[in-house]
Amino acid sequence: MSDYNWWKDGVFYQIYPRSYMDKNNDGIGDLAGITEKLEYIAKLGVDGVWISPFFKSPMHDFGYDVSEYTTVDPIFGTNEDFDILLKCAHELGLKIIIDMVLSHTSIEHEWFNESRKDKTNDKADWYVWADAKPDGTPPNNWQSCFGGPAWTFDTKRGQYYMHNFLKEQPDLNFHNEDVQNALLGACEYWLERGVHGFRLDTVNFYFHDKELRDNPIRNPESISVGLQIETEVPYTMQAHIYDKSRPENIGFLKKLRTLMDKYPDTMTLGEIGDDNPYKLAVEYTDGDKLLHTTYNTHLISGTNAKDLQSDTITVPFKEFQNQPGEGWASWAFSNHDVVRSVTRWGKSIKDKEAFAILLNTLLLSLRGTPFIYQGEELGLPEAKVTFEQIQDPWGKYLWPEWVGRDGCRTPMPWVSDAPQAGFSEETQTWLPIPNEHTVRAVDVQESDANSVLNKTREFIAKRKEMPILQSGDIEFIETHDDKLLGFYRILGNEKILCLFNLSEEEKSYEGIALKPLQSYIEGT
């Protein structure tokens, strides 16, 4: 039976496969490890699972540099291991979506190896190539998100190639129809295997300006409300109107949606990184010919964000609501790229467990599809990583101003008194597991009815019983207190009040008393 909107009403769980469960005991998580833990995920009560990239890759950016789109990297297992995972997930009622990185490939992809040979081969224009300026400098002023120019000179071909990210991640030329068709073919390969959709990495980065015009200087007043730019670097000094978010992108998204519609109950989740992400989010999801939903940026942005306040939530929500057109948003407080929410928003909070429960309850109460990143159901804080332990190339580049993304990527703690917290039998894992995580391991929390894990399970179950929390409208209320967040959820004639005390002091609203870090959801 078709369940077209399962992704709207459901709850998703994100898995970073390197760090979930190591079945073959090499210190790195794998697909067989995920399969082993599927019953745990199903018991959590979620409906879908997003698995970050597991395709063949030289791992310069840990899987976000794909060298073969239709082959599982041996680090994670085999294509048959994925089939087993998928079969087990479906038997447990879980739908699987996978991360498709379409804007760029690995520098080791066979397409790039062919393209760089010369200017006349069959794949000569599958990537973005351009001649140097007369003085040998890059073709324009575009910058890489990871630092430095977005151009690297290739001596073999005698031209610069474009890369929005690492130099090992050359950008594909979406103006070439053959490139689009090849990528759609890769998507169809996994749809045929049985996945229920895709999380689309950097979905607004697909197209570039054919004329390679320079980006202008960024006008701070033109930036969407709530976007956090903590430290100005060359990338943030530009208005990115020519190197991404190009109008031609709409045409490709329509082609992708046409493909998705051939496979019932599938969905697309687009990650948008832009100065005005909500304008783009509605543009990309308006109607039924484009993406199904897009991934928020503001609620996961910032490494040094202020403690959680009501406007942290209300500002981006209202920004999205005020956009013309219709669209459905997806929200997360953490993922594999950002500082974990308990640490990012709770620097002054002493009771981290209560704060974690509050955050998960809040996320699950908002209008939109919630995504819970692995470990958030345990209330894990950001792990501290020394320079010697850093694996993230971005962290190595920005040290010591920022240590990178490793702090949110450390392995899951399963058993508190087991070696490597039950993640692996290997004596050294790819990233260390801190003691602050071991004491919050799954086995410890399973036996505590008031643990973050069990309280999160409990509220996910309640959410399933309340359609108003799944699809109802949201209306924020003025509490006149930046540490007291309130809103109504509305569905038809039904209306419930949701209150969240974001502080460690008692609060009240119209006679309703809230203890420190307590939530109030009318009807629960």
CATH number of the domain that residue 190 is part of: 3.20.20.80
Q: Is 171 part of a structural domain of the chain?
A: no
Instruction: Give the integer Cα–Cα distance in Å for 258 and 288.
Output: 10
Residue where a domain terminates, one of 448, 464, 480: 464
Same domain, 314 and 208: yes
- Per the structure, the complete domain to which residue 485 belongs is given by 472-521
Instruction: Give the integer Cα–Cα distance in Å for 403 and 385.
Output: 7
**DSSP result, 257-283:** HHHHTTSTT-EEEEE--SSSHHHHHHH
Catalytic residues: 201, 271
* CATH number of the domain encompassing residue 510: 2.60.40.1180
Q: Is 170 part of a structural domain of the chain?
A: no
State which residues of the chain have pLDDT below 70.
1-4, 222-231, 302-305
Q: Is 134 part of a structural domain of the chain?
A: no
Q: Is 200 part of a structural domain of the chain?
A: yes
Strands of the 473-476 sheet, one edge to the other? 473-476, 484-491, 494-501, 519-521
Same domain, 480 and 337: no
Same domain, 320 and 210: yes
User: Which positions ≥6 away from 413 have C-beta within 8 Å?
Assistant: 378, 380, 421, 422, 423, 433, 437, 438, 440, 441, 442
For residue 146, the tally of other CB atoms under 10 A from its CB is 18
Same domain, 407 and 501: no
Residue where a domain terminates, one of 438, 464, 490: 464
Same domain, 427 and 513: no
Instruction: Please report the pLDDT score of residue 226 as a whole number.
Output: 47
Nearest one of 174, 337, 158, 319 to 243, comparing CA atoms: 174
Instruction: Please report the pLDDT score of residue 403 as a whole number.
Output: 85
Same domain, 81 and 53: yes
Instruction: Please report the pLDDT score of residue 219 as a whole number.
Output: 85
Q: Is 138 part of a structural domain of the chain?
A: no
Instruction: Please report the pLDDT score of residue 227 as a whole number.
Output: 46
Q: Is 168 part of a structural domain of the chain?
A: no
Same domain, 491 and 370: no
Same domain, 365 and 498: no
Beta bridge partners of 130: 160
Same domain, 425 and 508: no
pLDDT in tens, 15-35: 999 999 999 999 999 999 999
Query: How many domains does the structure of the chain reveal?
Result: 2
Same domain, 376 and 320: yes
The answer to whether the beta carbons of residues 54 and 71 sit under 8 Å apart is: no
Residue where a domain terminates, one of 464, 483, 510: 464
pLDDT in tens, 85-142: 999 999 999 999 999 999 999 999 999 999 999 999 999 999 999 999 999 999 999 9
User: Which positions ≥6 away from 417 have C-beta within 8 Å?
Assistant: none
Same domain, 506 and 392: no
Q: State CA 124 to chain mean position distance.
A: 32
Q: Is 351 part of a structural domain of the chain?
A: yes
Question: What is the pairing mode between strands 197-200 and 151-154?
Answer: unpaired
Instruction: Please report the pLDDT score of residue 517 as a whole number.
Output: 98
Classify residue 466 by burial, with Cβ atoms within 10 Å: 0-12, 13-18, 19+: middle
Nearest one of 109, 224, 206 to 164, comparing CA atoms: 206
User: Which positions ≥6 away from 43 have C-beta within 8 Å?
Assistant: 457
Q: Is 337 part of a structural domain of the chain?
A: yes
Same domain, 188 and 332: yes
Residue 298 has φ and ψ, to the nearest 5°, of: -65, -35
